[in-house]
Amino acid sequence: DTEGLLRIKEENQKHYRRAQRHQEKKEKIQRHNRKLGDLVEKKTYDLKTQYEHLANLRRTHILELTSVIFPMEEVKTSVRDPADVSSESDNAMTSSTVSKLAEARRTTYLSGRWVCDDHNGDTSISITGPWIILPNNGDYSAYYNWVEEKKTTQGPDMEHNNPAHTISAALCYATQLVNTLSLILDVNLPKKLCNRQVNTEGKSVTLNHEFCGENLSRHRFTRAVKKLNANILHLCFSQHVNLDLLHPLHTLRNLMYLVSPDTENLGR
């Protein structure tokens, strides 16, 4: 029994020494983990700082881009409410008729369905200049009508001062701006609107093939506009623009909300 007791004591001592070595190894691993934790915390802070710095740079570039090259602003049109005009011509008009006229004014027949829009063409959004505008409510039927009229009518001056030209130009500039914003923000766009190179007098100029090329049919034009609107909404979602402000048909107004200085997360 005494010999067995001595053997057990020796084994216990071996286990104790082994436990000490394991404890030292454990403490060493814990110190290493703490050092790694401090390093990761420091790297995370540095990364967050770099992200903030990068966001500020992106924000600065975007604000310069939209103030110098692609300025956008709301253009008020001098259209009087038909309810007001009718009431002036007929003092005996009932209030129900006035309200019905006002309601009709806020309704637009767009792409086969009636769309309620408070602006209804009273305001337009300009890009790169006050003469290049898009209807605020997304009604681009002037382009369709122009294409159809051009197919059936022959005349040298029918393209002069045509609103379809401003619609086409505004959509082209909007597409160029969206593609540039995607590069600055490093956000991949879900829809592809390709550009093409056109050589003019020895210079290479980039034009958007979708809107600045040949006259598009209604189907192709509508599809291209939908792709552009989808890209704009995708950029707005990526920058956490307030969803209550967005409308799927308001092309330039959504862009204005995206690049507005009030957008807190612009550049993220």
Bridge partners, 200 (sequence order)? 203
Q: Is 90 helix (H, G, I), strand (E, B) or coil?
A: coil
Statement: residue 143 has pLDDT above 60 = yes
Tokens 């408070």 appear where?
118
Segment 4-19, tens digit of pLDDT: 999 999 999 999 999 9
Tokens 């807190």 appear where?
264
pLDDT at 83: 44
Task: pLDDT band for 82, please (50, 70, 90 cuts).
Answer: very low
What residue spans define the domains of the chain? 135-259
Prediction pTM value: 0.67
Helices 82-89 and 95-105, axial angle in degrees (round to 10): 150
For residues 82 and 181, the model is more confident at: 181
Task: pLDDT band for 146, please (50, 70, 90 cuts).
Answer: confident
